[in-house]
Amino acid sequence: MKSKYFQFISGRIGQMKRIEAACKGVENIIWVHSSSYGEFEEARPVIAAIRAKHPQYRFLATFFSPSGYEYLKDDPIADYVFYLPLDLPGNASRFLDAVRPVKVIVSISDYWLGFLRELRRRGIPVFLISARFVQKMVYFKPVGRPYLNAFKKCFTKIIVNSESSYKVLESNGLTNIALAGDPRMDRVKAIAAEPWSDPVVDEWCGGSKVFVAGSTLPDEDDECIIAAANANPEDKFLVIPHEQGKSQLMHLQNAVKGRTALYTQAGADVSAAQVLIVDTVGMLSRLYRYGFAAFVGSGFGGGSPHSVIEPAAYGIPVSFGPIFGVQLHCGKMVAAGAAKAVAGREEFCDWYRCLKENPDYCRAMGEAAARYCAGASGVADAIAEMIMD
């Protein structure tokens, strides 16, 4: 398997000519930029909403990271998919000469000053969506002044997903801001409603619900799951690591006392495994449907938990670590009784035991998760209208 560094470099070699050839003579291109796969998923429902009402537009998606490009290069949601050219002198001008975008959408973050300034010089509308800000970010310190100036001058509209982000920008002198919400809610609800199954997981589950741990990091995330699995050898755990490095996979296999199996190596006897480790990508949001409850990783020091609404969309209890960062939903879901923030493996195991011993508690938390998701729809359409107005 090629390293991300190799993909990052090789994917950009000769790319500008490919962009020029692909876009030659094409009109009405909307350029959508995302750092990686997760950020693009925030933009996906907005793209779909624009397409539904404005079919004359074509969408060109760019990514900084291979994790976006490699997984989306054949996805029909975008007409063209490329790596973002490096923000070096001349690249922004040449790229924009080739693409000639009528509008630009940036999802969440990944701001490149050379591109933003050239877009402003050309008078091309630029929209930042699903933006998240806290006052301690570098943009609001003296060293980040160039970015703050770009926020004020280069973005037509910065569409934030929380009141706290809105207040941070407002307190720093921005007026080109709007509050919408999280467009991913529409997407995760649609995924949860789609019929889908996986033969390997079906065979392993045997028709029973299991505990699903998604986007785990090789820190307290994995230790929580290992502790619960070892304390409950009769229960099954579906684990989907975030990075899936060899050392993390080996640690999971060695630390779990019961039998484990890797998804890519699963054989006819996979049902005998207590823990199934999914060592491939692209299925996580759909795998949560196999769970009676879920844990979402990266809340113990990885910045903030990954998408906690993906499991919530299935109406199941959700847990995560105590560090929320700029995650929009964690605090709200805890307050709504839809989720549990755990301080470490001991508290996680206590919560897991409560789910097993108190079915009413488990059911009530799952129902709260479903209600939380049901009350946050229509954001993608609202953002699309702001962009196309």
Q: Please provide the size of the chain in residues.
A: 389
Domain 4-186+377-388: give its CATH code: 3.40.50.11720
What are 318's two structure tokens? 């959700």
- The pLDDT, as a whole number, for residue 11 is 80
Question: What are the Cα distances from residue 174, in Å, to 77, 153, 159, 169?
Answer: 32, 9, 12, 5
CA 225 to chain CA centroid, Å, is: 22
Domain ranges in the chain? 4-186+377-388, 189-374
| Look-up of token digits 């998701």 | 373
Determine if residue 110 is left, alpha or beta; phi over 0 gives left, psi from -120 to 50 gives alpha, anything else beta. left
State how far the Cα of 325 lies from the Cα of 142, in Å rounded to an integer: 22
Same fold flag, 4-186+377-388 and 189-374:
yes
Structural contact between residues 317 and 355, judged by C-beta atoms closer than 8 angstroms: yes
| Look-up of token digits 């793209």 | 47
State how far the Cα of 116 lies from the Cα of 160, in Å rounded to an integer: 18
- The pLDDT, as a whole number, for residue 70 is 87
- The pLDDT, as a whole number, for residue 2 is 64
Q: Which fold has domain 189-374?
A: Rossmann fold (3.40.50)
Residue 53 burial by CB count (10 A; 0-12/13-18/19+): exposed, middle or buried?
A: exposed
What is residue 87's DSSP assignment?
A: S
- The pLDDT, as a whole number, for residue 37 is 87
Consecutive 10-residue averages of pLDDT for the chain (389 residues): 76 92 98 93 95 98 90 93 95 98 96 97 98 95 97 98 95 98 89 97 97 96 98 98 90 98 96 97 94 97 86 98 87 97 98 98 98 89 97
